[in-house]
Amino acid sequence: MVEKFRKFESISKNITFWFALISVIGMMTMMLVTFIDVALRKTVQSSIVGASEYASFGLCLLVMCGMGYCEMCRGHVQVTMFLRLMPRKLAFACLTLVNILGTATAFVLASCVLRQGIKLSTSTVKGVLTGIPYYPFYYICFVGLLLFALAHLFTTTRSFCALFNDEIAEDITKDWQ
Q: Looking at residue 86, what is its pLDDT?
A: 87
In sequence order, the β-bridge partners of residue 133 are 126
Residue 151's CB: how many other CB atoms inside 10 A? 25
Domain boundaries, the chain: 2-173
In sequence order, the β-bridge partners of residue 126 are 133
Residues 6+ apart with CB under 8 A from 89: 163
Could you give phi then psi for residue 126, rounded to 5 degrees?
Answer: -140, 170
Q: Are 127 and 60 in contact (CB under 8 A)?
A: no
Q: pLDDT below 50 — which residues of the chain?
A: none
Beta strands in the chain (DSSP E): none
Q: Looking at residue 105, what is its pLDDT?
A: 95
Q: Looking at residue 97, what is its pLDDT?
A: 95
Q: What is the pTM of this model?
A: 0.81
Angle between helices 135-161 and 166-173 (to 10 degrees): 120
Q: What's the CA gap between 114 and 67, in Å, rounded?
A: 17
Q: Looking at residue 115, what is its pLDDT?
A: 95
Residue 105's H or E segment, with its range, is helix 88-121
Q: What is the DSSP string of 19-41?
A: HHHHHHHHHHHHHHHHHHHHHHH
Please, what is the Cα angle at 131 between 130 and 136, to 5 degrees?
105
Instruction: Report how far apart, in Å, the C-alpha atoms of 40 and of each of 10, 104, 153 are.
Output: 44, 45, 46
Q: Looking at residue 119, what is its pLDDT?
A: 92
